[in-house]
Structure 1
């Protein structure tokens, strides 16, 4: 035995919990939803598409396609062409509503591309980044990562109905974790995070410090401890209803697993799939 030979290796190191911003947000939103999304096999059936999610995905895909092209081809008309090519109508009320929001998206993308320097060469487009810490592996896919004056900048596209502020950028755990993971993956400093809100044409900016990044990381590690313990206990035969209780509220309206959660259905009204579109 190692101990008999004078060696003491101590306890086995604790396994790092792999988390993405989406996982952490789902856990904070509702432990039951987390279980249904990431642990239950087979997973419960999900609800149908939401129009605002379809709209966001189309815009993201069009901008990804634009920056995949050579710089000389990145102009507003090409961006609009890519949006038309990517267009889907899932979740909209009817063809007329889909056409209306398609035209809105055309305007957003055209104006956005016209207002930025498309000659830049991002160091990441839909780039997967990852970093281990003392307790977790934080990872995720970033919309765009720029390199400006020797430092990385996290760019996140937004298409929601409300404009965003510096407080939104400062308070985003996702952006902070992306910054930490990007600087580890790409080996360059990263402090600046930006929310590019296409409908309003605004950019919300925050410059993190080591202290502010550390606070976000600390909260992520605390949540990862909780969800990791609950997941391990479930795998060992624990009661899923105790380990992953529902957390009800307005968020239940939008839950993909609403049909499988009676508490969620009782807590909030059912809305049409296009209800979150800007009027």
Structure 2
């Protein structure tokens, strides 16, 4: 008999912090209720391109070419659809070629931004999981970490969507500072550079974090974790409406739109 999947402890990641700030009820549905959500074409396209770039950096330097990367797209998509057949319905036959062309365009965007044969990544899709000194559990995946011969660290994140205009870039910058903070607490070294690569537009955002910035992020995470704990103990995760509600898959069960949420599953053990 198959054993039930072990429950993963709650922790903060850039996505979960973003959910809570956008709408506490969204955070509850995704993290505490763990309600299923349909995938989107944009999400699976991003997953596909990330998988291709991860494999690319695992090849010997002289094999990290654009044609080699393009040849990886179809096999990775086949593996994804074999694992989740519903993806084939998300990208039906009539849309398949356009989907592949767009994925290829994103991979091309990567090669227009850097030459992967000129360096070796320290790691790709690196899982980080720790508890900050203030008691806040954090985790996530870093797309790529580069370490220069002199020991300088660069944290890289690939973006397959549009590059936000400066006044809407806060979440992207927070994500990178989040990972810089986690790296600092894990390895006692602040990354010298944080780089977000927007493959669609062949442009990037580069940050050089300071101790003051990362200390602020750490305190901000403590405030967020405390607020989540207060909500978790009462079960009161209030909806927060915005323009983003139009893209929310939980609108039918959201009280802000006349819906009824499922019964609260109870206080998570992290906050009991």
TM-score, normalization by structure 1: 0.75
CA RMSD for the aligned pairs?
2.8
Helix, strand or coil at the partner of 2:169: helix
Name the structure 2 match of 1:244: 237
Cα deviation, 1:185-234, whole Å, max 9, x if unaligned, reads 34533142111011111121111111122222222211111002222x1x
Q: Please, which runs of 5 or more residues in structure 1 have no aligned partner?
A: 1-15, 267-279
Query: Is the 8 Å Cα contact of residues 48 and 91 (structure 1) preserved in structure 2?
Result: no
Structure 1 residue 138 and structure 2 residue 138: aligned?
yes
Structure 1 residue 257 and structure 2 residue 250: aligned?
yes
Structure 1 residue 95 and structure 2 residue 88: aligned?
no
The number of equivalent residue pairs is 240
- Name the structure, 1 or 2, with higher relative contact order (CA <8 Å, separation 6+): 1
In structure 1, C-alpha distance between the alignment counterparts of 2:156 and 2:90, rounded to whole Å: 28
TM-score, normalization by structure 2: 0.77
Higher helix residue share: 2
Structure 1 residue 224 and structure 2 residue 225: aligned?
yes
Cα deviation, 1:143-163, whole Å, max 9, x if unaligned, reads 011113422111110011346
Query: Is the 8 Å Cα contact of residues 130 and 140 (structure 1) preserved in structure 2?
Result: yes
Query: Is the 8 Å Cα contact of residues 159 and 198 (structure 2) preserved in structure 1?
Result: yes
Structure 2 residue corresponding to 1:71, chosen from 32, 57, 61? 61
Q: Please, which runs of 5 or more residues in structure 2 have no aligned partner?
A: 1-8, 82-86, 260-272
In structure 2, C-alpha distance between the alignment counterparts of 1:259 and 1:79, rounded to whole Å: 41
Cα deviation, 1:38-92, whole Å, max 9, x if unaligned, reads 112xx43x34221111111111111111112232321111111112222365575
